[in-house]
Amino acid sequence: MFIEQIYNHNHRLHQQHLLARGAYILPAFILTLCSHSIAFNSLIVTIYILLIRYISNISGKHLVRLFSIPLTFISLGCITIAMHVTFPLKVQFIPANTELAILIFTKSFALIAVLFMALMIYTISEIAAVFRLIKVPSLFIELFVLMYRFNMKLLSNTKQLYLAQKCRLGYTSNKQAYRHIGLLFASVFQSAIKANKTTEIAMTARLGNHQYHFVSPHRTFCWKACTYPLFLASLLLMFYLILNF
Amino acid sequence: MADRANNIFELREVSYCYPNDEWALKNINISITRGAKVALLGENGAGKSTLMLLLNGILKPTNGSIQFENELICHRRKALRKLHQKVGFLFPNSDDQLIAPTVYEEISFGLMNLYKDENLTRKKTEEIISHFDLKQIQHKSPHQLSSGQKKMVCLAAILAMEPEVIICDEPASHLDYKSEQLLFVHLDRLNKMGKTIIISTHNIDQAYEWTDETILLHQSQLKAHGKTTEVLSNSKLLKEVNIPSPTIISLLNELNIDIPTNNPPKTKKDLAQLIYLNR
Ligand SMILES: Nc1ncnc2c1ncn2[C@@H]1O[C@H](COP(=O)(O)OP(=O)(O)O)[C@@H](O)[C@H]1O
Ligand SMILES: [Mg+2]
């Protein structure tokens, strides 16, 4: 799954300097924010989905599932914008509204694609470092990292407990399955909370003071690593200018 | 063990009761010699892990007192910080200990807390990474590693902080033969540098051949404490606590060779010599 991919952090760009990776994200993000062109937004979506696939080797099926969740909500919102319902029950699409809806839809889609890409190529500690840099309250950062860690524990626990249940012939009938899922959730939460407690202790044993200060290896910044993303950025800028004006 | 100044830990009448009213340890009196390799043996539930957590100050004894380097362990925050710096703890389950997104950052965590200086932390981290041969996996997520690699990362992360005492709760669990050997080679080297090493284990042969002192726990109580060769060659005692004799001792028993009480054979080589002399 994508979450695991994020946690594993073994994509193609993981060796690159922070800024080189940022060059993939920031220009595209800003251009998409400013864009009024449906065509440009669609272009961003296409390019970034391909990029995510290439960088992470995530399967198409997973990618579809990944995008389906936010897109469902956005689609619902956009449809309500485009639709005009009159009494007694007559549904019509107003052309101006429809165009706006499509614009919003493509724009959100593009932003999500870029954000997913960002999530993918930055580790949690780098994201936390950026938060710290832009003076996000430390409570929020701590919560963010804590959630990440809890999720990670939850994920691995669930997988193992599920397998263990299956090995003991759980989930064989439908009726059983409901009960077993209930049991699974109960035990997963218990064990995740317990594991989290132990981790907390382990952190104090290493002088951790509820803070997540990691140090990443020093990577020298070189312009060569930026050529691809900068080329991409200039290409995007060109399309932006052509398609928006 | 009589020399008080040479003891790194002194436990006096230590008892511990978990919040659910379960007494995990009762009236323990032990002194642990500085620079010794100590084995903590006992059945499951004997109280080994609890004792180790007490030594690291993570748990606070319900009754009794623990001294570290001739000072009472104080459970105030600042004092504990000092204790944690000097007493490293290797958790039985590596997953509990791993928190960072990459191995490199995992090792940097304790160092950064200790020194609060990025450059120094980087330097020390890189030193320990090359020392432990973790170069190939330094950018990987700890959760992708094999259990042996995870253990090594955990150990490296602790050793980076250069503690005086290293407490390992079942360090060899989940490890294959080679990783186990490697782990003990590392621990041995640290011991040669004067560090005290306390391990709990179920591998009786390992404990017999590798450690100097043995602490035997049974049903929350101290059953024996002394030189490993003495404690573990006492077959009657071991039977009482449901622990098998070390292979070397049981072999001598099978062969009806008297075990020299002052100097029992410690290694396979000693054993071979003794058998040769008694042929
Ligand atoms: N967190 C806990 N809460 C309550 N009881 C515990 C807890 N941990 C251990 N115990 C109890 O304390 C006793 C000693 O446990 P432990 O020190 O883990 O034994 P060992 O490590 O020798 O197997 C056991 O009887 C166990 O049930
Ligand atoms: Mg234990």
pLDDT tens per residue across span A40-61 = 999 999 999 999 888 887 888 8
Same domain for A88 and A112: yes
Q: Flag whether B109 is in a domain.
A: yes
Say yes or no: CB of residue B223 within 6 Å of ligand 1: no
On whether residue B255 sits in a domain, the answer given is no
Decide if B269 is inside a domain.
no
Q: Are residues A22 and A96 in the same domain?
A: yes
- A10 and A84, same domain (yes or no): yes
- Give pLDDT, residue A8: 66
A152 with B121: Cβ contact below 8 A? no
**CB-nearest partner of B105 from A152, A206, A214:** A214
Residues of chain B found within 8 Å of residue A211, distances taken between Cβ atoms: 113
pLDDT score at B1: 46
Mutate to test the pocket of ligand 1, among B22, B43, B221 (most ligand atoms within 8 A of CB): B22
Burial pattern B88-117, b for ≥16 Cβ within 10 A else e, equals bbbbbbbbbbbbbbbbbbbbbbbbbbbeee
Mutant choice from B77, B141, B147, B167 vs A, greatest count of A C-beta within 10 A: B141
A105, A160: one domain: no
Our count of domains for chain A comes to: 2
In ligand 1, the atom with minimum distance to the C-alpha of B52 is: 17
Place A16 in a pLDDT band, splitting at 50, 70 and 90: confident
Considering the domain boundaries, does residue B266 fall inside one?
Answer: no
Helix A38-56, helix A95-121: angle, nearest 10? 20
Instruction: Tell me the chain A residues in contact with residue B129 when contact means C-beta distances shorter than 8 Å.
Output: none
Same domain, A174 and A112: no
CA of B50 to the centre of ligand 2 (A): 7
Nearest C-alpha neighbor of A105 from the set A38, A28, A27: A38
Least confident of A116-120, A157-161, B164-168: A157-161
Q: What's the B141 CA to ligand 2 centre distance in angstroms? A: 27
**Both A195 and A230 in a single domain?**
no
pLDDT of residue B215: 96
Minimum CA–CA partner of A202 in chain B: B97
Positions of chain B with pLDDT under 50: 1-2
Same-domain check for residues A17 and A94? yes
A17 touches chain B (CB under 8 A): no
Query: How many angstroms separate the CA atoms of B40 and B51, rounded?
Result: 9
CATH of the domain at B46: 3.40.50.300
Chain segment A123-156, per-residue pLDDT in tens? 877 888 888 888 888 788 878 877 777 777 777 7
Q: What is the DSSP letter of B59?
A: S
Q: Please identify which residue in the block is written with the tokens 């989290």.
A: A196
A129 falls within a domain: no
Count of domains forming chain B: 1
Judge if A150 and A195 occupy the same domain: yes
Residues in chain A with CB shorter than 8 Å from the CB of B139 are: 14-15, 217
* Boundaries of domain holding A144: 137-206
Could you tell me if A36 and A106 lie in one domain? yes
Closest chain A residue by Cα to residue B144 = A8
The reply to whether ligand 1 has any atom less than 6 angstroms from the CB of B21 is no
Question: Is residue B265 one of the residues assigned to a domain?
Answer: no
> From the CB of B136, is ligand 1 less than 6 Å away?
no
d(CA B113, CA B121): 9
0.90 cut: is pTM over it? no
pLDDT at A168: 72
Of B100, B111, B143, the CB nearest to A125: B100
Question: Over the stretch A193-202, which tens digit does the pLDDT of each residue have?
Answer: 887 788 888 8
Nearest CA to ligand 1 atom 6: B18
Atom 17 of ligand 1, nearest CA residue: B47
Q: Could you tell me if residue B174 is left (phi over 0), alpha (psi between -120 and 50 degrees) or otherwise beta?
A: left
Ligand nearest to the CA of B44: 1
B46 interfaces chain A, CB cutoff of 8 Å:
no
Indicate whether residue B264 lines ligand 1 (CB < 6 A): no
CB contact under 8 A, B105 and A123: yes
Asked if the structure places residue A130 within a domain, the reply is no
Q: Between these two residues, A214 and B276, which has the higher pLDDT value?
A: B276
- Residue A208: list chain B partners with CB under 8 A: 109-110, 113
Place of tokens 């179920």: B202
DSSP annotation of B58 reads S
Q: What is the mean pLDDT of chain A?
A: 82
Percent of chain A exceeding pLDDT 70 equals: 94
Contact A214 B112 (CB under 8 A): yes
Does the residue A9 lie in any domain? yes
More confident residue, A121 or B227: B227
Within a domain: B230 = yes
Alpha helix positions (H), A57-137:
60-82, 95-121, 124-133
One domain for residues A13 and A89: yes
Count the Cβ atoms, other than its own, within 10 Å of residue A239.
18
